[in-house]
Structure 1
């Protein structure tokens, strides 16, 4: 579930962070000064993708959530930095595997398992449905099925195992880069495919992402890679492979993406990044 799902979802994010925002039928965001609107968009990205409290934003409009998409990778840096901080503090007194596990728990608490939820819903839908509407209907179901249960167990296990095999000093940089790169991969899906919604629900918001927004997202999405050895950039090949594969799957099965598909893409490419870099380090 991502930006566009907030229109009809029973898992609305607003009550988690602040008092309900008023949604008027006027005052378009374009009337606000540029820097004021960008600051609002950044706060919306924080409030939507994490459980960090944000100030109440008057005259909130749902369309602003689409403007906030470009800050998705920047929020990823924040989440990764928090995980790295927890890891570094825990590793001073605890074994590395326990420190890694605590860093993972920290990200789950910080994000409310937002993307993990998307992964389980997407896998349940794609695994249990045949026709497009059936796939989308299963994704809308808040209950978790066998496909989703297996996927989340394997995803968490792969993350934990991969991170424990890195050098202790390398883990913080890998965490930050993994969270930022994987969220940029989700933004790339928004820029290359159309949003689809179950026919029985309300009409979704427009989700066409301008190239300028994609460029803004690319900066924080890729910048943490500079902390890694350039020879390890080959570790991005699995990320590209997973991105292409899953993009083709959702394109073929449902004709585009849903918010759950974006969450699944983030999780899958994060795991691919850890495994790819780990393979480079081992060479």
Structure 2
């Protein structure tokens, strides 16, 4: 059992990030579904790397320019995986078609006009927000805490809301990840309460976002998809950064 979860951890790093590993982990279908449990851990990992990047290079660049570097670095670390989901959802929902047509459009690898518009809006807001937060005392919350909370929110969404497709990786997640595993996954959140006094507030904001988003997509396409999970991560990060800016 331990070996299975170690394999799943390695697969999670390989799939959810571009972080290089000294060796590759073999694809084992029975362990792929377990990778979702480690999604918040990937958030910690990404946040730590982005913060190190900030700590090392921040003194050498103007903040407005460095905000672009940081956002692009995070985008590269994730392989644009969640950004792709964000654009697919905008293309699908923006088509104003039937549920089946929306799901077909979201599955299409090509990006349409609505996806491009959604991407430009998302990253314009992210860059602008981060350029303000770089000079604040909330930079740890923005860079370290935010990726964790946004990814843990997906675990909550998997448990609370149905899956809209009959197959796919997201369906495997839904079939395997149940309420007991959600309770276990709280271990990923515990260090956040020690790291920041703002952690409960940020967690609450994202919980509200996940529930409202889940209700919307359940009504729109009768459930969630893998693309929607990515959309929730990107949207959660953006919302938390906005909330931190407003708090200032």
- TM-score of the alignment, normalized to the shorter chain, above 0.5: yes
Task: Report what 1:47 is aligned to.
Answer: 14
1:95 aligns with 2:98: no
C-alpha contact (below 8 Å) 2:138/2:244 kept by paired residues: no
Work out whether 1:182 is the aligned partner of 2:114.
no
Q: CA deviation at 1:194?
A: 2.5
Matched, 1:194 2:171: no
CA positional deviation for 1:42: 0.8
Q: Is the 8 A contact 1:70 1:216 kept in 2?
A: no
Mapping of residues 48-67 of structure 1, within 5 Å: 48-54=15-21, 55-58=23-26, 60-67=27-34
Asked if 1 retains the 8 angstrom alpha-carbon contact of 2:170 and 2:225, the reply is no
Runs of 4+ with deviation above 6 angstroms: none
**1:29: which partner in 2?**
none
Match of 2:79 among 103, 112, 120: 112
CA distance change for structure 1 residues 97 and 80 in 2, over 3 Å: closer, same or farther? Answer: same
Contact map agreement 1:100 1:160 (CA 8 A) in 2: yes
Aligned-residue offset at 1:223: 3.1
Give the conservation status (yes or no) of the 8 Å contact 1:124–1:144: yes
Give how far 1:99 is off. 2.3
Q: Give the whole-Å Cα distance in 2 for the aligned partners of 1:131 and 1:222.
A: 42
Displacement of 1:73 in angstroms is 0.6
In 2, distance between residues paired with 1:196 and 1:63?
22
2:139 is matched with which residue? 171
Q: 1:145 to 1:258 in 2, by over 3 A?
A: same
Greater displacement, 237-246 / 255-264:
237-246
Q: 1:97 to 1:42 in 2, by over 3 A?
A: same
Structure 1: stretches of 5+ with no match in the other structure: 1-33
Inter-CA distance 114–146: structure 2 relative to 1 (3 Å threshold): same
Quick check: 1:214 aligned with 2:182?
Answer: yes
How far apart are residue 147 of structure 1 and its match? Answer: 1.6
Distance 2:43 2:84 in 1: 17
Change (3 A) 1:98 1:267: same
Q: Alpha-carbon deviations, 1:224-256, whole Å to 9, x = none?
A: 3532234x7434454233222211111111211
Range that drifts further, 130-139 or 207-216: 207-216
Larger displacement relative to structure 2 (91-100 or 133-142): 91-100
Give, in angstroms, the shift of residue 174 of structure 1. Answer: 2.0
Where 1:156 maps in the other structure, the secondary structure is helix
Asked if residue 37 in structure 1 is aligned to residue 4 in structure 2, the reply is yes
How far 1:131 moved relative to its partner? Answer: 1.3
Partner in structure 1 of residue 106 of structure 2: 139
RMSD of aligned Cα (Å): 2.4
Which secondary structure state, in structure 2, belongs to the residue aligned with residue 112 of structure 1?
coil
Q: Say which structure is richer in helix.
A: 2
Structure showing greater Rg: 1
Please say if 1:261 is aligned against 2:228: yes
Q: Does the 8 Å contact 1:195/1:258 carry over to 2?
A: yes
Inter-partner Cα distance in structure 1 for 2:31 and 2:202: 35
Secondary structure at 1:104 match in 2: helix
Which range moves more in the overlay, 34-43 or 189-198? Answer: 189-198
Aligned length: 245
Contact preservation (8 Å) 1:91, 1:99: yes
